[in-house]
Amino acid sequence: MKEILKKIPKIELHCHLDGSIRPETMYELLLKEGEKLEVKDIKEFEKLVSVREECDSLKEYLKKFSYPLKVVQRGENIERITYELLEDLSKQNVKYVEIRFAPFLSMEKGLSFDEVVSSVLKGMDRAKEEFNILSNAILICMRYDSGENSLKVVEYGEKYLGKGVVAVDLAGNEHDFPPEIHKEAFQLAYEKGYNITIHAGETGIVENIPKSVELLHAKRIGHGIAAIKDPKVMELLKEKNIFLEMCPISNLQTKSVDSIEDYPIRTYLEEGIGVTINTDNTTVSNTTLDKEYEFLMDNLGFSIEDIIKLIDNSVEAAFLPQSEKEYLRKIIKEELSIYKL
Ligand SMILES: O=c1[nH]cnc2c1ncn2[C@H]1C[C@H](O)[C@@H](CO)O1
Ligand SMILES: [Zn+2]
């Protein structure tokens, strides 16, 4: 790993809590629940919960979430994994994070919506005190869920708006569930003042990008790889200043692109589209922000100056008031100056 990447201050905007649980913690919690695991040690378990070369689609990738799902059913676990994720990120000099999670996925064994959300917020508060890392939460509606459940996420989440929750998202299997199923929920979210980001164009369906912007009011798009297929869609992103939350390693694993040479990031940047770089799922994708940036440097010829520009895009795209963005810019600039960057 390039030392400079470890040192520079970073921002993470697209990180799923359930996909980013420390494997050791997940293993411990599963055994505590009496789960029978067909692995002999943590090394084998790590392989079980992260994708390898064999992954051939997003659907395949999403199968890895069956283990995390079992451990996010208790408030104390949720608080702990949030806190630990932030601890890990702070060690990588990440200054600000937006953590996303689907409250309904944690309500399968009796937790209430409020218990789930407040557990995440407690973990975030504790991490802020101990590691001085800033964070906010994004509530996820799942694509396969009914529009009614998505409405509930928006309604129940309203009281946390500005108190740790900043946005709503739509995630899950994009192939079978188009954005319009959730139109009403995102209309309500828009009216209530949520920021909106939508996973769209992750695995080829380019129409989902304009649908997410025009029908669901997305200000940011998760992935957006398929935009490259249609100049009109690229123009829309540029014109409306919609930032893309790209996650290169995850995108290769889900076969959003066939090879790194086809990764459209350079074209997007040349066209003036706002790109940010993120991990998606640190455990499932076996990645870190440092690895993502190193990947761009090693494979696509990005310089450290290019990386710093991408980090500045993340500040700009963050769901934060202007004053907090300025604060982040200031502390990032100060730290970069130590390294003459
Ligand atoms: O990259 C992704 N695309 C679509 N859905 C995803 C991705 N990563 C995670 N998810 C799903 C699976 C998780 O259980 C859920 C909530 O984080 O979101
Ligand atoms: Zn995602």
As annotated, the binding site for substrate includes 16, 18, 172
15 alpha carbon – ligand 1 mean position (Å): 9
pLDDT in tens, 43-77: 999 999 999 878 999 999 999 999 999 999 999 99
Q: Is the pLDDT of residue 252 over 80?
A: yes
Please enumerate in sequence order all residues whose Cβ is within 8 A of that of 188, keeping only pairs 6 or more positions apart, or say none. 151, 154, 155
Length of the chain in terms of residues written: 341
Measured between alpha carbons, how far is residue 19 from residues 162, 186, 271, 275 in Å?
A: 25, 24, 32, 22
Let me know if 202 is a catalytic residue: yes
212 alpha carbon – ligand 1 mean position (Å): 17
The ipTM (two decimal places) reads 0.99
312 alpha carbon – ligand 2 mean position (Å): 21
Catalytic residue among 12, 98, 202, 292: 202
Query: What's the CATH number where 244 sits?
Result: 3.20.20.140
**Which structural domain, as residue segments, surrounds residue 70?**
3-338
Phi and psi torsions of 292, nearest 5°: -60, -45
Q: What is the pTM of this model?
A: 0.98
- Give the sign of the dihedral formed by CA 225, CA 246, CA 235, CA 266: negative
As annotated, the binding site for Zn(2+) includes 14, 16, 199, 280
List the Cα angle 70/73/76 in 5-degree steps. 120
| Number of domains comprising the chain | 1
Confidence of residue 312 (pLDDT cuts 50, 70, 90): very high
List the Cα angle 165/178/157 in 5-degree steps. 20
